[in-house]
A and B are shown apart, each in its own frame.
Chain A
Amino acid sequence: MSRDRERASATEAGIARQLSTLRPPVSPQLRVAILDRTGLVDHYAPVDTPLGLGLVAFNRRGASLLHVSIDEAEFAAMFAARIGRPLLPAGRPPADVVRALSTGRGQPVAADLRSVGQFQRDVLMAIREIPPGQVRSYGWVAARIGRPAAVRAVGTALARNPVPLLIPCHRVVRSDGAIGHYLFGTEAKARLLRDEAERAGRSPAG
Chain B
Amino acid sequence: MADALTRRLAVDLDRAFPAVVDAHGPMVLAILTRLGDAAEAEDLCQDVFTRAYAALEGYGPERIAQLALRPWLVTLARNALRNEHRRRGRKPTVPLAGGEGEPPRSSIGQPERDAVDRDQARDLEALIRRLPDRQQQVVVLRHVAGLTTREVAGVLGCPEGTVKSELSRGLARLRELVVDQRRSEERL
Contacts and interface: CB of A to CB of B under 8 A. Distances in A.
A31 B22 contact: yes
A35 B21 contact: yes
Interface stretch (A11-19, A48-56, A167-175, A180-188): A11-19
Interface residues of B, number: 40
Interface string B109-124: 0000000011011001
B172 A12 contact: yes
B50 A22 contact: no
Interface in B113-171: 117-118, 120-121, 124-125, 128, 139-140, 143-146, 168, 171
Q: Could you say which interface size class chain A belongs to?
A: 20 to 34
A40 B13 CA distance: 10
Nearest to A13: B171
Contacts of B168: 12
23 contacts: A8-B175, A11-B178, A12-B168, A16-B171, A18-B117, A19-B128, A20-B144, A21-B118, A23-B27, A24-B41, A26-B29, A26-B45, A27-B42, A30-B29, A30-B42, A31-B18, A31-B22, A31-B25, A33-B42, A34-B25, A37-B50, A38-B54, A40-B53
A59 B82 CA distance: 30
Nearest to B30: A23
A30 B46 CA distance: 8
Interface of B: 14-15, 17-18, 21-22, 25-27, 29-30, 33-34, 41-42, 45-46, 49-50, 53-54, 117-118, 120-121, 124-125, 128, 139-140, 143-146, 168, 171-172, 174-175, 178
A24 B30 contact: yes
A22 B17 contact: no
Contacts of B41: 24
A24 B46 contact: no
Contacts of B172: 8, 12
A15 B174 CA distance: 8
A201 interface: no
A12 B176 CA distance: 10
A160 to B, nearest CB: 19
Contacts of A35: 17-18, 21
Contacts of B140: 19
A152 B52 CA distance: 40
A84 interface: yes
A23 B30 CA distance: 5
Contacts of B29: 23-24, 26, 30
Given A15-B175, A20-B146, A33-B46, 9 more contacts: A15-B124, A16-B171, A19-B144, A23-B26, A23-B144, A26-B21, A30-B42, A31-B25, A40-B53
A177 interface: no
